[in-house]
């Protein structure tokens, strides 16, 4: 469980590893019905809501992306991590310091390139868009940049000329 700032930094480190690849794989494997779910989760950010609902809505979007990868391990991991991240947000008082409507708009703007890249079946763009979103989210939450010891330059999935993963 997340009990301090170091734990929160470690959780984001893990999310950056998992979610960026999940977005890239989703761009390769997503079906039309997956895009419908991703778009619906993205559009839900247009509605006003409470702080508690914000966390659930954000989870819905990230899980929709993970499920579009057709790899159930991504979605399962996201469900487990999200509860810890929300707990960490509450622990450091993030919900009390940022207006919910402002947060909704910022996150919606950051999610848009993820949606567009997955819809266009562009795995590298999906990876980069998710990396950008999570990096900015971490900065907002912590109030500073947490420097990674190492950063992957792209998804771990090899892309062949047909746009599918190589085995």
pLDDT in tens, 32-68: 999 999 999 999 887 766 666 777 788 899 999 999 9
Burial of 90 (0-12, 13-18, 19+ CB in 10 A): middle
pLDDT at residue 125, as a whole number: 97
Distance between CA 119 and CA 112 in Å, rounded? 11
pLDDT in tens, 97-109: 556 567 778 888 9
pLDDT in tens, 84-98: 777 766 665 555 555
Answer whether 51's CB lies under 8 Å from 127's CB.
no
Distance between CA 139 and CA 123 in Å, rounded? 24
pLDDT at residue 138, as a whole number: 86
> Predicted confidence band at 162 (pLDDT cuts at 50, 70, 90)?
very low
Sketch out the chain's domains with CATH numbers.
Answer: 5-142 (1.20.120.530)
First to last CA, the chain: 35
pLDDT at residue 50, as a whole number: 65
pLDDT at residue 167, as a whole number: 42
Residues 6+ apart with CB under 8 A from 108: 42, 45, 46
pLDDT at residue 86, as a whole number: 73
Distance between CA 140 and CA 27 in Å, rounded? 27
Answer whether 22's CB lies under 8 Å from 53's CB.
no
CA max distance for the chain: 48
pLDDT in tens, 120-160: 999 999 999 999 999 998 888 887 777 666 566 666 655 55
From 129, 131, 118, select the one nearest 163 (Cα to Cα). 118
> Predicted confidence band at 164 (pLDDT cuts at 50, 70, 90)?
low
Distance between CA 28 and CA 129 in Å, rounded? 15
Token digits for 101?
A: 């409507």
pLDDT at residue 89, as a whole number: 64
């Amino acid at each position: 469980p997340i009990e301090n700032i170091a734990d929160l930094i470690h959780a984001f480190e893990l999310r950056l590893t998992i979610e960026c690849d999940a977005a890239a794989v989703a761009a390769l494997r997503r079906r039309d019905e997956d895009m419908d779910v991703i778009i619906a989760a993205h559009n839900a950010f247009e509605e006003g809501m409470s702080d508690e609902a914000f966390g659930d809505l954000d989870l819905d979007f990230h899980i929709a992306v993970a499920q579009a990868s057709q790899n159930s391990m991504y979605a399962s991991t996201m469900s487990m991590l999200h509860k810890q991240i929300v707990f960490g947000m509450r622990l450091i008082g993030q919900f009390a310091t940022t207006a919910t409507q402002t947060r909704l708009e910022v996150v919606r703007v950051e999610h848009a390139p993820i949606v567009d890249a997955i819809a266009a079946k562009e795995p590298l763009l999906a990876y980069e868009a998710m990396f950008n979103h999570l990096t900015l989210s971490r900065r907002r939450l912590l109030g500073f940049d947490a420097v990674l010891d190492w950063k992957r330059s792209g998804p771990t999935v090899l892309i062949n000329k047909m746009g599918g993963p190589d085995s």
